[in-house]
Amino acid sequence: MQTLYVLYDPRCGMCERLRDWLLVQRSWIGLSVIAAGSEKARNLFPGLEKIATSEDNRHGISRWLAQGSPEELAGELRNVPLEPCVVPEGTVSEYLR
């Protein structure tokens, strides 16, 4: 792996502060910090938009953060449906280029 892609919510003040902090940290691999929902994010990660912007998911994340209970959060996360990851033919490295 040569680059780690980190998506953040540009409307979230905490996310922007974490982005700024992350960018000044030493790293063994390249970091590409991308605003979620941006054209670049949509081009790099097609299909992610429908998962990340689902009202159920957004409401659930807000609710989990408000609870402050790691056990309840873990229990809820166990029920989040995930689609299988499918890489086109070839290696993962070729796909990420």
- Asked if residue 40 and residue 1 are part of one domain, the reply reads yes
Query: Whole domain around residue 19: which residue ranges?
Result: 1-46
- Asked if residue 1 and residue 37 are part of one domain, the reply reads yes
Q: What percent of the chain has pLDDT over 90?
A: 7
Total domains present in the chain: 2
- Asked if residue 42 and residue 58 are part of one domain, the reply reads no
- The pair of three-digit structure tokens given for residue 8, joined into one six-digit string: 């953040």
pLDDT of residue 86: 60
Nearest to 83 by CA among 51, 61, 52: 51
Q: Is the pLDDT at 87 greater than 60, yes or no?
A: no
pLDDT of residue 20: 92
- Asked if residue 33 and residue 14 are part of one domain, the reply reads yes
Nearest to 4 by CA among 36, 37, 35, 28: 28
- Asked if residue 40 and residue 23 are part of one domain, the reply reads yes
pLDDT of residue 33: 92
The set of residues, in sequence order, having a beta carbon less than 8 Å from that of 26 and lying 6+ positions away, is none
Q: What is the pLDDT of residues 52-84, one digit of tens each?
A: 555 555 555 666 566 667 677 677 767 777 666
pTM: 0.51
pLDDT of residue 94: 65
pLDDT of residue 42: 85
If residue 34 lies in a helix (H) or strand (E), which one and from where to where?
strand 30-35
